Chains A and B, each alone.
Chain A
Amino acid sequence: MKYTKYITSAAGLLGLGAILVACTPAPTMKTGYDYAIPETQAMQDDDFSNPAFVWVDIGEEQWSTVDGEAGKSCESCHGDASSMKGISTSYPKYSAEDGKMRTLQHQINYERTERMKAKAWKWEGDEMLGMASFIKNQSKGMPLNVSIEGEAAPFYEAGKAFYMQRRGGLDMSCKNCHMDYPGVKIRANVLTNGLPNGFPTYRLKWQKIGSLHRRFRGCNSNIRATPYKQGSDEYTNLELFLTHRANGVAVETPAVRN
């Protein structure tokens, strides 16, 4: 039967495609910056015109602000913030204590509640996004380098499955847009590889900085799919998959996007 043949060979090609994707080295991967218009790139390039630095400054201030019953600030234990250089490139990271992955934002709240005995920050709040962008900014230019070995492996597989799964009323997967069509126009937007290396990112559309998980929610809703909660296991595993895909790509935080 004509169909069966066609479909079977299509399946063969798909399999081959999957192998090729798995073997493709990441470092040459273009980021959202490479596809952005020059005005947006210029805004990101200059720390003084980059609107995200309002939040980086909030983070810097919080770094040395004493809070919580332990009477400590981050600085009390970690000293100068340069001690954070390189740290964020290996997040999400497996936590034996939690038995699952932690994003940097989870780790920051762990520091606050467990070590400072202070209140957790809201995921999308100014202090949290400020601290996350301040810490990631210490690693600006350094290559992402997450591990998916050992304990992290099943979480990576879960994130990958999420990425490949068609969902929503439009029945599309992340792959359909971000692996199949980087550099191609979809209405007014140019699709990119959809990389996490610039987050938290200032979006001109949001007129503020936002987390990677907020972006996931947007990409889910656009295809009429139910968004998950920021910080959820689903989005944390998805972040692991995305970050591993971008291993070798330099940190841009805080990026500017349209």
Chain B
Amino acid sequence: MTYRTILSTLVGIALFGTLAANANAAEYMIVDGTIPDSLTGKPGDAANGKKLAINRKKGNCLACHVMPIPEEQFHGEVGPDISDVGSHFTEAELRLRLVDPKVLNPDTIMPAFLKPGTHDVLKKFDGKTILGEQDIEDVIAYLMTLKGQYSQ
């Protein structure tokens, strides 16, 4: 099933707003709640992925998730603790979760890291995605290393 097919289904049931601004977004294929193929074909760099997860201007995952990063203060609790995600998710599942979590849960607060905003976007960020394709591969590589409980 192609991305486009799923999108038209969604539009059909009128859950989402306009998709016009998505026209120039990245190409990827969603299959059964996953994006199986790497976005870049290049392996992810876990060390850089960790930096992106911390960086408030990039992934800022810590805003909402507890992660095994004791050197950083203030882990948010809006989303679940993800210090063990590597044991529960495949790369393909994580890829869709990061690219566009609204496909999984239309009402989620978690940002779509590879889809530009479509309404009242500050000029500086207009048409821009929060992370780039390789950034997402890097974050996935880092998440796959997270195996085991961690308490803050």
Contacts and interface: CB of A to CB of B under 8 A. Distances in A.
B125 A7 contact: no
Given A7-B10, A171-B112, A2 B32 contact: yes
Nearest to A183: B77
Contacts of B62: 187
15 contacts: A4-B9, A11-B106, A17-B107, A168-B119, A169-B122, A171-B111, A181-B109, A184-B77, A186-B63, A187-B56, A187-B62, A220-B120, A221-B122, A224-B117, A225-B122
B106 A167 contact: no
Interface residues of A, number: 33
Given A3-B9, A166-B17, A186-B63, A172 B119 contact: no
Q: For the side of the interface on B, what is the size category? A: 35 or more
A65 interface: no
A8 B13 contact: yes
B13 A185 contact: no
Interface of A: 1-4, 7-8, 10-11, 14, 17, 165-172, 176-177, 180-181, 184-188, 191, 220-221, 224-226
Given A169-B117, A224-B117, A7 B106 contact: yes
Given A1-B9, A8-B13, A169 B73 contact: no
Interface in B117-133: 117-125, 128, 130
Q: Which of A167, A171, A172 has the most CB of B within 10 A?
A: A171
B68 interface: no
A168 B112 CA distance: 12
B6 interface: yes
A169 B78 contact: no
Contacts of B118: 171
Contacts of B89: none
